[in-house]
Structure 1
Amino acid sequence: MGVQLAAEQASLAEIGDVNFSDLELAYHVKDALRSVPLGDRDSYDQLVGFLFEDGERLGSDEVALLVTNLNALSGAVSDIDFVHHGSLLDCIFNMSLWKHGPDVMDALLELIIALAASSGKYVDSCLDMLVRNFMPPGYFLTDAKQRTLARKKGQVLDRVHSALKDIAELVPLAPLRLEQIIKDRVPIFNKEPLIVTYVENMLTLESGVMGELVGNSMLVEVVNTLIDLDVEIGWDDILQDDSSKGIFEMELDDEEGSADDDETNNFELPRGFSSQKVLRGNVVAEKLDSLMVLMFEHLQDCYNSGRLVQVFETLLQSFQSTVLTAYKSKFAQFVMFYACSLDPENCGATFANRLADIFRSPVYAQEWRMSAVAYLASYLSRAKFLSASFIANILESLADWCSSYCKSQCGEINPKAHRVFYAGCQAFMYVLCFRMRSILGVPRLKSQLFLMPIGAILTHPLNPLKVCLPSIVEEFLLQAKVARLFSCSESDFHGLLESELSRAFGGLERLDMFFPFDPYLLKKSDRNGMNITENGTAMSFDEDYLDGFDNSMMQMSITPKNYKFGSALRGGMQMPSRIRPSTSPESL
């Protein structure tokens, strides 16, 4: 270990004498600390120098001496002063638990807890030290260190979380300070394994003994991290569909025999899309992908432990303040979708009702209302775990709002002035493009649908059929004609191209073109036990209706595997597969 270390050991050897009491050991270190203001730094500098040593290079005797020194410092914290002992404090706060064995870890954490409890001025530094130990040093990520990393991870993180709990009990303001430190330390631009480990620790705090103190803020910060990564992925990075194809044209992606997909993945994708090209090689997307897997697993654990409804309320508040206002979020919103799929009767219904409430409420900005109804339309269209009855009720509320709006207006088409209205009209047409068949299959719901004032809305002088997206209008009219729900002159609307009226109503951000639960293209979270399956629910239809509906439309809707509506047996439920951000020409 060199001449310097040998001298330090000789100088400090008496501290390691097993015959010394804890009080005597603390006195020896106190003497070294008290000598610094008097100009005598020899013993102090030797102590600091030894603490700087790399724990992985220490022999058993040196480890024992280090433990002894740390224990002695714990008994002398009242004599540690930031002005005179800054180098000692810097050394302590920069020590890595990952570089030491269990005995040193325990002694170091005992010192950290003692420092935090001794003076409020050390609390932030102690918490920061523990948070930085959420992640291993970078060299642990090498292939040669993988076995060591796996062994160390549990040893280190269990102790870190125990120390955080102890400090929170001793210092009432510590949890509030911890929240800010964790937020400031999120390693969003670090390598994927590091940010994954960091977020794992955040979720551990949410579900652990400190959950009551910091759980909500941890969940919100994880969602914020997802959004931060999401916005780093540019729309140019996302594969665009063939511009000649519409958003309702479908085909089986695995017809060419994709080697990546096993035989259980019988899903459909928009034409022109190849799952073999899905954002591969995009470093930011890979990070986000891994974090989405963590969130899905965490939500499943919350469901299994009976905490999902409680956690969902925090998620919903976070969604409303961050995701809903983010410019065309691409992936982060699927956290909400997955949570809803786990508990449709509670979380699923709550999410839809909250979106509908935001849309109808004039207290929100127009952009928020348009975004909310776009989310609502996409969610109702894709979430096959929602019952046809529930969807019909939401559609009725949308139609009633649009009808009331029409009755209050005397003017003609004005896309900018009435864009919230047009967004609502487009929403119920979009949902019916996907859900009309299931609603018509239930006589009571069929009657409910035919009683909605859809015709009066669409023939009003505001003329939403000429303002909403032509692809949606045409598909809706096609199905409405078959169902005899609504009729108009086919020559007036067939083959419509997007007009200045259509482009004007969405505004600069084109929120009218946003379909947030369109298919998803993150590889790991897509494969994390996710499959599209047919609902299997028996429905009866009049033969006149069957021929006019494109069955592939129904297959776009999403159902968690093994899900049965109204059943408590959801152990096999899984995230829907192959749902990706909207990449149709209208949405970009």
Structure 2
Amino acid sequence: MQQDRTIYEEFISQISDPDLEATKVEQLLLEVSQNATKLTSRNVENCKDLIYRILRLKWTNLDQNIANAYIQFANLLASSHPEFETDIIEANIKSFLITGASEEVAQNRIHDLLLNLSSKNGLSNTEEKITQAITRYFPHMTKSVEQHENFTKHVLKCSTYLASVREYLLEVIIDRMLKLDARASREAILEAEENMEESCTFTMETEKNELAHKEGARLDCMMDIFFTYLHDICHPEGDLDFAVAKVIYKDLLFVFDRLILKMWKICHVPFVIFYLCSFKDLLAEDFLDYLWKKVCSPQIETVFRQASASYIASFLARAKYVSTKTCCNMLSLLAEWLHNYQLESNEPEFDLHKHATYYSVAQALFYTFTFRHIELCKSPSARSWIHSLRLQALVTSRLNPLKACLPTVVNTFSSVAHQQQIVLCDSIIERNARSSLPVVSSKFSDGWLFTKSNPLDAFFPFDPYVLNRSKLRINGIYREYEGQPVVIKERESTEAIEESWESFKASLSPMYCSTSPGYLNSIEN
């Protein structure tokens, strides 16, 4: 008995020796594999030290024969003793964190093992165990860019052969990106870049593409990898495989519904769906249809109906790949819904709380029309189409939608509409400005609560994308502003309007003012 124990401990010592010859390591692994199925529940407890030493081997960069022997041992152990399967999976998922583990050979070996486990041990919930391990060991936000890069690549690789849990794997990655995005506002990223440029004026140039903002740099890396994944999986032979793209879109839309739509004022993660929709018109059209159904459904919470309206507006204004016809169709839907709402409203007076969805839809209409007005107004039939929107009836409604919209949207829409001789908004804007006087706050007894400049708390999710590395995927499909600032005439020269206009002009950078169209043309066909 003592002799057996001595042999066992010597075996453990040998398998743990980093200097052991490759042929000897292979031989030891094969010997253990041959006896793995003979272990009983009683004596397996006595062999745990040996099993865990083997599982911790850094086998992915060793000789191919050793890799094969390791995979054989892991498969035999998992099939004969399922209680070790989680340990096998976790030992290898941890390797996703190692810098350099994304090298092709090492990467493929880990995935060969996981694929073998999932295909041979289907009754043991292997795929669920893999997803649990991925969730557990996903690098914390404070970890390095390299660890985020390696781990994200591995998880996306898993999604290519673990189809039944792909949706969940995408959700895990997007959830982490959302957490980074929430800590990486455009303003913070641009400020960090400006500070870095100032501090590096007299130093040698560093890596150009890595952001100075730490969370932004990690997010940029993950977004770039995610964009590459979407392109490669949907273009397996260079051309779009629409059948695959539809499946990926369905999974991604599910994650969008569960996570992205519910996050307020995030800057970059929504572009994963923006990028995917650029692959095919039908995807963009379906996305708009999905959003429009959200807006129209009274069963949906108001805040999500409002968010959906913001997504429609921003998508139409920014996506370069959406046609003018689709944009016209979508704007017609928005206008029709607004007119019907006005007719059916029992309390047709300004009330942000009661009519929040109405005001968000109205702002979506004004915002999109303002961004797209040049192309929308230049066709021969444009005048009759614009007349069909009945914009004057919307603007003069007792619900007073202009009062709820962002000042930049209101004043630019007014200028464009006046220039095109479509709607006159001046008197309404001036009346709203006079009525927006400071009021005593019910919450703060010692101060004044001024009317908010963003009463709807509106945001446009596809505003400029500022992540250096990954924006190369976005630049070509992002529509820049095509108009020219309209001269402000005396009728618009109140201090509030001038300040709002100057603020809007300052935002008209090449990325800040784009345009886009929409979705119904192919649906109707």
Shift of 1:422: 0.9
Residue by residue over 1:356-411, the C-alpha shift from the partner in whole angstroms, topping out at 9 and shown as x without a partner, is 11111111111111111111111100112111110111111111222222122234
Indicate how the Cα distance of structure 1 residues 491 and 360 shifts in structure 2: closer, same or farther if over 3 A, else same: closer
Counterpart secondary structure, 2:397 = coil
Which amino acid is 1:204 matched to?
K
Say which of 283, 287, 294 aligns to 2:225. Answer: 294
Alignment TM-score, normalising by the size of structure 1: 0.70
Indicate how the Cα distance of structure 1 residues 281 and 554 shifts in structure 2: closer, same or farther if over 3 A, else same: closer
Q: Give the Cα–Cα distance (whole angstroms) in 2 for the partners of residues 47 and 445 of structure 1.
A: 83
Q: Give the Cα–Cα distance (whole angstroms) in 2 for the partners of residues 175 and 336 of structure 1.
A: 26
Q: Partner of 2:462 in structure 1?
A: 517
Aligned pair 1:42/2:6, yes or no? yes
Q: Give the Cα–Cα distance (whole angstroms) in 2 for the partners of residues 437 and 319 of structure 1.
A: 32
Query: 1:242-253 residue pairs with structure 2 within 5 A?
Result: none
Q: Partner of 1:325 in structure 2?
A: 262
Q: Give the Cα–Cα distance (whole angstroms) in 2 for the partners of residues 162 and 197 of structure 1.
A: 17
Q: Give the Cα–Cα distance (whole angstroms) in 2 for the partners of residues 527 and 316 of structure 1.
A: 23
Query: 1:305-316 residue pairs with structure 2 within 5 A?
Result: 305=236, 306=241, 307-316=244-253
Q: Give the Cα–Cα distance (whole angstroms) in 2 for the partners of residues 371 and 76 of structure 1.
A: 60
**Contact 1:51–1:91 (CA under 8 A) maintained in structure 2:** yes
Counterpart secondary structure, 2:322 = coil
Q: Partner of 2:85 in structure 1?
A: 123
Say which of 403, 407, 426 aligns to 2:363. Answer: 426
**Contact 1:379–1:517 (CA under 8 A) maintained in structure 2:** yes
Q: Give the Cα–Cα distance (whole angstroms) in 2 for the partners of residues 360 and 231 of structure 1.
A: 28
Query: 1:216-365 residue pairs with structure 2 within 5 A?
Result: 216-233=167-184, 237-239=188-190, 280-305=211-236, 306=241, 307-343=244-280, 345-365=281-301
Indicate how the Cα distance of structure 1 residues 554 and 349 shifts in structure 2: closer, same or farther if over 3 A, else same: farther
Q: Give the Cα–Cα distance (whole angstroms) in 2 for the partners of residues 176 and 446 of structure 1.
A: 58
Query: 1:177-196 residue pairs with structure 2 within 5 A?
Result: 177-189=129-141, 190-196=143-149
Indicate how the Cα distance of structure 1 residues 238 and 415 shifts in structure 2: closer, same or farther if over 3 A, else same: farther
Q: Larger RCO: Structure 1 or Structure 2 (Cα < 8 Å, ≥ 6 residues apart)?
A: 2
Q: Partner of 1:453 in structure 2?
A: 390
Which amino acid is 1:386 matched to?
V
Q: How many percent of aligned residue pairs carry the same amino acid? A: 22
Shift of 1:214: 3.0
Counterpart secondary structure, 1:342 = coil
Stretch of structure 1 that moved more, 75-84 or 363-372: 75-84
Q: Give the Cα–Cα distance (whole angstroms) in 2 for the partners of residues 47 and 458 of structure 1.
A: 84
Alignment TM-score, normalising by the size of structure 2: 0.78
Counterpart secondary structure, 1:75 = helix
Q: Give the Cα–Cα distance (whole angstroms) in 1 for the partners of residues 120 and 297 of structure 2.
A: 45
Say which of 40, 52, 63 aligns to 1:101. Answer: 63
**Contact 1:230–1:331 (CA under 8 A) maintained in structure 2:** yes
Shift of 1:342: 2.0
Residue by residue over 1:252-293, the C-alpha shift from the partner in whole angstroms, topping out at 9 and shown as x without a partner, is xxxxxxx9xxxxxxxxxxxxxxxx999931122111111111
RMSD: 3.1
Say which of 103, 109, 133 aligns to 1:159. Answer: 109
Indicate how the Cα distance of structure 1 residues 279 and 97 shifts in structure 2: closer, same or farther if over 3 A, else same: closer
Runs of 4+ with >6 A deviation: 276-279, 532-535, 552-555
Say which of 403, 415, 430 aligns to 2:339. Answer: 403
Shift of 1:476: 0.5
Query: 1:468-479 residue pairs with structure 2 within 5 A?
Result: 468-479=405-416
Q: Give the Cα–Cα distance (whole angstroms) in 2 for the partners of residues 221 and 303 of structure 1.
A: 20
Indicate how the Cα distance of structure 1 residues 236 and 521 shifts in structure 2: closer, same or farther if over 3 A, else same: closer
Counterpart secondary structure, 2:278 = helix
Say which of 352, 377, 380 aligns to 1:440. Answer: 377
Say which of 31, 48, 51 aligns to 2:15. Answer: 51
Unaligned runs of 5+ in 2: 192-200, 202-206, 438-449, 483-504
Counterpart secondary structure, 1:339 = helix
